[in-house]
Amino acid sequence: MKLLKIQPAIAENIPEIVALDQLCFNGIWSEDGYRREINSDKSILLTLSLVNNSELKIIGIGCLWSILEEAHITLLGIHPDYHRQSLGSLLLYTLLKDAVNRQLERATLEVVTGNQVAINLYEKFGFKVAGTRKNYYPKTGEDALILWRNGIDKPEYTTELEDWGNRIRDHISQQYLLY
Ligand SMILES: CC(C)(COP(=O)(O)OP(=O)(O)OC[C@H]1O[C@@H](n2cnc3c(N)ncnc32)[C@H](O)[C@@H]1OP(=O)(O)O)[C@@H](O)C(=O)NCCC(=O)NCCS
């Protein structure tokens, strides 16, 4: 059984996070960008790590900004070797749970219009398409879809999220022990 750990990123993680960022997103943020996230009390930057003999290897990152009553999910990435094992769902679930604990009311994010994998994942968590931002990504000129999930402060959402959490934990427990 492999051990998994989710924890807030710390400054020492930055080089590993930047390497994973390159793999997952082709370089969204620089080392300085991640340092800003770690130092900001408005940002939740989480790492998902495999633990082996007390050595940690970061295989996932997720980030959320808390802006007024909104949770902006700014990135979510899993190392390509670990896709389709519910680990992206686990990180998204953990970010959304943090948003609920902070009593935020809505969650939103932008995703490349053609990124159907990510769209499927977010739709599973109740996000709906609310519009498009043209030429949103400066490097590629691609459009972004804006996704929203309202009512994350409602008790029904807490129940829904807990159902997801149980299902995800059940699924990953075939391979991983989360601590
Ligand atoms: C998006 C991403 C985080 C998903 O991570 P993952 O750990 O593979 O996802 P999960 O195993 O939790 O899958 C959750 C759901 O996502 C969707 N999904 C995942 N992989 C998919 C694929 N290859 N094709 C279609 N849907 C897929 C499915 O709805 C899946 O649910 P299911 O397993 O019940 O069908 C991962 O693909 C990734 O890092 N991609 C590159 C970065 C990125 O695009 N991030 C999102 C924008 S910030």
**pLDDT reported for residue 77:** 98
Report how far ligand 1's centroid is from the alpha carbon of 94 (Å).
15
Query: Quick check: 115 and 144 in contact, CB under 8 A?
Result: no
**pLDDT reported for residue 53:** 86
CA-closest residue to ligand 1 atom 15: 121
**pLDDT reported for residue 60:** 98
Pocket test for ligand 1, best of 29, 74, 81, 84 (most atoms within 8 A of CB): 84
Pocket test for ligand 1, best of 81, 121, 137 (most atoms within 8 A of CB): 121
**Domains contained in the chain, number:** 1
**pLDDT reported for residue 1:** 86
Return the ∠ at Cα 57 (arms to 122 and 9), rounded to 5°. Answer: 65
Residue 30 belongs to domain spanning: 2-178
pLDDT tens track for 12-53: 999 999 999 999 999 999 999 999 999 999 999 999 999 988
- CATH number for the domain that contains residue 140: 3.40.630.30
Beta-strand ranges (E) seen in the chain are 2-8, 43-52, 55-67, 70-78, 106-112, 128-133, 144-149, 176-178
Q: What is the pTM of this model?
A: 0.96
Report how far ligand 1's centroid is from the alpha carbon of 144 (Å).
17
**pLDDT reported for residue 36:** 98
Pocket test for ligand 1, best of 59, 73, 82, 83 (most atoms within 8 A of CB): 83
**pLDDT reported for residue 87:** 98
pLDDT tens track for 82-137: 999 999 999 999 999 999 999 999 999 999 999 999 999 999 999 999 999 999 98
**pLDDT reported for residue 32:** 98
Can you give the length of the chain in residues? 179
Residues paired with residue 17 on neighbouring β-strands, in sequence order: none
CA-closest residue to ligand 1 atom 9: 88
Residues 42-70, mean pLDDT to the nearest whole number = 96
Report how far ligand 1's centroid is from the alpha carbon of 135 (Å).
23
Report which ligand 1 atom has the smallest distance to the Cα of 124.
Answer: 29
Using CB distances shorter than 6 Å, the residues near ligand 1 are 24-25, 75-78, 83-89, 111, 115, 117-118, 120-121, 124
**pLDDT reported for residue 138:** 84
Residues 153-175, mean pLDDT to the nearest whole number = 96
**pLDDT reported for residue 179:** 83
- Confidence bin at 139 (pLDDT 50/70/90): confident
Is residue 54 scored above 90 in pLDDT?
no
